[in-house]
Amino acid sequence: MRKHLVDLTVKEVTWLNEKYALMKLTDTHPLPEMLPGQFVEVRVDHSSQTMLRRPISIHFVDREHNELWLLVAVVGDGTHTITHTPVGGVLNCMLSLGNGFTLPTNEGQRWLLTGGGVGVAPLLYLGAEMKKRGIEPTFLLGARKASDLLQLQEFEKYGRVLVTTEDGSAGEKGFVTNHSVLDEHFDHISCCGPLPMMKAVARYAAQHHIACEVSLENQMACGIGACLCCVEKTQEGNVCVCKEGPVFDINRLTWQN
């Protein structure tokens, strides 16, 4: 897929809690094609500390309003600067990068989309594209506490939403891999979140012979396969997550070795 370098205008910034901002970006031209699971490299302007672009996953693409939604966790100077770009300001974005999640081809299949923390971001667009194809997925979303659960009302538009919290303040107490919905049968799991969570989900999927894809969040810089800082060991050798991923079938990874 062709890559684009575009100046997108900040249309709206909504703080979902003290750490996470939902940014809606737009352009005067129709936004380029984007797949669920792909990401954007955002240039950090007006910062003396951050030279490199920041990789941010595509949260949603609203074609009707020509908006790209990014769910940004503020973890340092780069993301702080990006999220404090004023409405009307411009963010230079390289997109659409990486591969994407597999989409269902068979309407009878049951798909589980699970994520934790800001890792839930790409699952909204994925769920929306699934619903377009006639499949309502089950979202299983985990967080430390209720106030860290993000965008639940948006997820509810596209499927069944179940949650876990580590402190029990919402949904079932514990981790996503403890949730009772896992007693049900699923044909496919798509997962994104902290590494220990993804490994636990991959273990569960392998044990139950369920097809499973995970979206890796390795450290990235260039986003286009040039700097080699995002390398992941796979069954076929080392690959750049930014180019070959970020989405991988768990059977390609060496986690189960």
Can you give the binding site for ligand FES, defined by CB under 6 A?
220-223, 225-230, 240, 242
Distance CA 13, CA 69 (A): 10
Find how far residue 79's CA is from the centre of its chain.
16
Reading the block at residue 157, the tokens are 């538009």
Residue 253: partners with Cβ closer than 8 Å, 6 or more residues away: 202, 214, 232, 233, 234, 235
CA dihedral for 4, 6, 9, 15, sign (positive or negative): positive
Helix (H) or strand (E) holding 130: helix 121-132
> 32 vs 225, which CB is nearer to ligand FES?
225
> 43 vs 179, which CB is nearer to ligand FES?
43
For 158, phi then psi, to 5°, come to -120, -5
Is 141:120 a contact under the CB 8 Å cutoff? yes
Provide the minimum distance between the beta carbon of 216 and ligand FES in the complex, in angstroms, as a whole number: 11
Provide the minimum distance between the beta carbon of 59 and ligand FES in the complex, in angstroms, as a whole number: 20
Provide the minimum distance between the beta carbon of 150 and ligand FES in the complex, in angstroms, as a whole number: 25
Amino acid at 138: T
Provide the minimum distance between the beta carbon of 99 and ligand FES in the complex, in angstroms, as a whole number: 13
Residue 117: partners with Cβ closer than 8 Å, 6 or more residues away: 73, 142, 143, 144, 148, 193, 194
> 150 vs 242, which CB is nearer to ligand FES?
242
Reading the block at residue 20, the tokens are 């996470």
137: cis peptide before it, omega within 30°? no
> 178 vs 238, which CB is nearer to ligand FES?
238
> 21 vs 241, which CB is nearer to ligand FES?
241
> 51 vs 87, which CB is nearer to ligand FES?
51
> 137 vs 245, which CB is nearer to ligand FES?
245
Provide the minimum distance between the beta carbon of 224 and ligand FES in the complex, in angstroms, as a whole number: 7
Query: Taking CB positions, which residue lies at the least distance from ligand FES?
Result: 242
Provide the minimum distance between the beta carbon of 156 and ligand FES in the complex, in angstroms, as a whole number: 34
Provide the minimum distance between the beta carbon of 55 and ligand FES in the complex, in angstroms, as a whole number: 7
